[in-house]
Amino acid sequence: MKETKKAEVVFQPLGRRFIMHIGESLYLAAKAANVESLCGGKGLCGKCRIIIKEGQNLLSPISTSEEKFLSKEEINEGYRLACQTIIENIGKVIVEVPFESRVGKQKLAVSGMEAKVEFNPNIKKYFLEVSPPTLSDFKPDFERIIEALNVKHNLNIERVSYYALKNLPITLRNSGFKVTLTIKAEKEIIDVEEGDKEKELYGFAVDIGTTKVAGYLMDLNSNKVVATASMMNPQIPYGEDVISRISYASKNPLNLEVLHKTIVDGINQLIKEACEKAGINPKSIYELVIVGNTAMHHIFFNINPKFLALSPYIPTLKKSFYVKSKDLNINIHSEAEVYSLPLIAGFVGADAVADILATEIYKLKDKTLLIDIGTNTEIILSDGLNLICCSAASGPAFEGAHITHGMRAATGAIEKIWINPEDLNPIYKTVDDEKPRGICGSGIIDAIAEMFKAKIIDFNGRIKTEVNHSRIRKNNKISEYVIAWKKETAIDKDIVITQKDVFEVQLAKAAIYSGISILMKKLNVKVNELSKVFIAGAFGFYLNPESAKIIGMIPDIPLNKIVFAGNTAGSGARMALISKKVRKEAEKLIDKISYVELAADPSFEHEFISALQLPHKNINLFPTVKKILNL
């Protein structure tokens, strides 16, 4: 029998993959990927808008329905209607689902542990009422203002921005010499406004993750977060991990510009969303603080990241710095600046510095481990005196990528799984208790751990198809375990964990555990000596630590030593926004942290291969798991 020709279609940022037949439209796949549609795929509503990022030549020409709903500019940008787009040739198609086409909101945790710091922001406002000039008092406007600031607020102003200077004479006279001055670092006037505008002072902190971006709008008078906004990183269609994006950016300067503009546009969207929630004008934001790994940092600032991926993996700079928001096209006050926390080394960037600041691991006298789990996992270890760190390329499996039915933590994602060891049947919980559409990261880890406990998979991760059970089977010669039957799901097919899925999780968990193991050996720290393990990152909030231990992703430590710290990168960014002291602390910190480049470490290959087994080649490292498995 002749085999049907097929194409692979990848939907981003949801991370869903589909194998489709020649002649099929993208509608059913788009529907499973949570793309909006009101007319049932008939081309009547124009809601199932998608953007083709790769593989346009494999698809049918633009239809009359698409010409009706899409502008010429949109068509040129790659927009299509999913229901009108037919697969015509074999190959790979990459589809971006734009924000307006997505059904339901991603479950992204944005809160996190945050240390108490001195509230002293870099930007402040002062209301002044000064005497107007007369024929006997002909002091110039600028000198009149800085003298009043010195007398009333003990400020010694050294500079004034051109923007503020050119507006000063008119603003003073229009307001009857009652103005509000915005001061940066207690030295420079950057804005002058009519009347009392002291309360209209805001800052914005951004955590640029490889997979997700979180923004926090803060009142710089009250020290309160007034609104938050988050999104999947809009760069995902150009590469799921940092290496893919660096590779894309390095091909030509235009690609770097595309990635840069994409993240800037995304941050502007977060600013707009947060400001609308709080009912404020974005022009009242006078400073933006960003954190991210070294690659995300360089791309945001439009710095070529090429040499981060080439030995000896050197960043362009590591110190913190300021850039005018208008130079980056950030839609806040034109005189506002963008500040970045410093970087450490390799891919361990400003987000790791933020993690350290938020958890205050550098102040603790006990042996402490910090793991910020993500596509790029940062690991930091303290022995009470020294700090050492590394970056583990754990990949996007925990975000649902490369997993057969993997998806982000959105509505309908299976997030928790339990398997009865007696009858091998599962119980699961989905996000928002909707019908299952796929499995998110926490559910994937649960699934592998529960399958291992129930002896559905062995120490090597092999699915034991010799076990006689309806859920354990081979499908097209691929071993799999059925989590949810077709009749239970929202995607009209069985949701399964395949042999390939198990291996993807083994790769990810081995990368993390081997990084931890190498750092612990460098500082001669034993597992039983750890007093605390911080699990950071938005993903960590939903992780079952017992499952993470069982598969060997984290060391075998008592659960009461595990602290879910949440999005500490975002917390550290907020701390830097509200405290000049934190910024100085960060600069001191980076020179005290040792960095280990895992790829260059002679023990890495051995550590990684050993950690591929469940939970580990050396089962004695996991006594609790041995007990659970009755070994």
Beta strand residue intervals within 350-494, DSSP E = 368-372, 377-382, 387-392, 413-419, 426-430, 438-439, 472-475, 478-484
262 three-state secondary structure: helix
Do the beta carbons of residue 86 and residue 23 sit within 8 Å? yes
The answer to which of 218-227, 242-251, 392-401 has the lowest mean pLDDT is 392-401
pLDDT of 394 strictly over 50: yes
Considering 362-371, 400-409, 428-437, the range whose residues carry the highest mean pLDDT is: 362-371
589 three-state secondary structure: helix
Long-range contacts of 38-46 (CB under 8 A, 24+ apart): 39/83, 41/82, 41/83, 42/83, 43/81, 43/83, 43/84, 46/70, 46/81
For residue 130, give Cα distances in angstroms to 117, 145, 152, 169, 189. Answer: 35, 7, 11, 13, 16
623 versus 432: which is more confidently predicted? 623
pLDDT of residue 352: 95
pLDDT of residue 111: 64
pLDDT of residue 38: 46
Domain ranges across the chain: 6-101, 123-194, 202-340, 350-396+505-628
Do the beta carbons of residue 319 and residue 583 sit within 8 Å? no
Q: Do the domains 6-101 and 123-194 sit in the same CATH topology, yes or no?
A: yes
pLDDT of residue 2: 45
pLDDT of residue 98: 78
Of the candidates 575, 602, 600, 601, the one whose C-alpha atom is nearest the C-alpha of residue 589 is 575
pLDDT of 427 strictly over 70: yes
- Mean pLDDT of all residues in 497-514: 96
The pLDDT mean for the chain works out to 90
Q: List, for residues 3-21, the tens digit of each pLDDT value.
A: 457 888 988 877 788 888 8
No. of H helices and E strands in the chain? 16, 27
pLDDT of residue 523: 96
Share of the chain above pLDDT 70, in %: 94
What's the CATH number of domain 6-101, 3.40.50.720, 3.20.20.70, 3.10.20.30, 3.40.30.10?
A: 3.10.20.30
Of the candidates 516, 474, 397, the one whose C-alpha atom is nearest the C-alpha of residue 463 is 474
Confidence category of residue 100, pLDDT binned at 50, 70, 90: low
What's the CATH fold of domain 123-194?
Ubiquitin-like (UB roll) (3.10.20)
Entry field: residues in the chain: 631
68 versus 186: which is more confidently predicted? 186
pLDDT of residue 1: 41
- Mean pLDDT of all residues in 236-241: 76
Q: List, for residues 557-615, the tens digit of each pLDDT value.
A: 999 999 888 889 999 999 999 999 999 999 999 989 999 999 889 999 999 999 999 99
Q: Does domain 202-340 have CATH number 3.90.1570.30?
A: no
The answer to which of 113-117, 312-316, 388-392, 424-428 has the lowest mean pLDDT is 113-117
pLDDT of 321 strictly over 70: yes
Helices 568-578 and 580-589, axial angle in degrees (round to 10): 120
Helices 499-522 and 604-611, axial angle in degrees (round to 10): 140
pLDDT of residue 105: 52
pLDDT of residue 476: 81
pLDDT of 242 strictly over 90: no
pLDDT of 323 strictly over 90: yes
pLDDT of 36 strictly over 70: no
pLDDT of 546 strictly over 50: yes
Of the candidates 486, 401, 499, 397, the one whose C-alpha atom is nearest the C-alpha of residue 437 is 486
The answer to which of 88-97, 195-204, 520-529 has the lowest mean pLDDT is 88-97
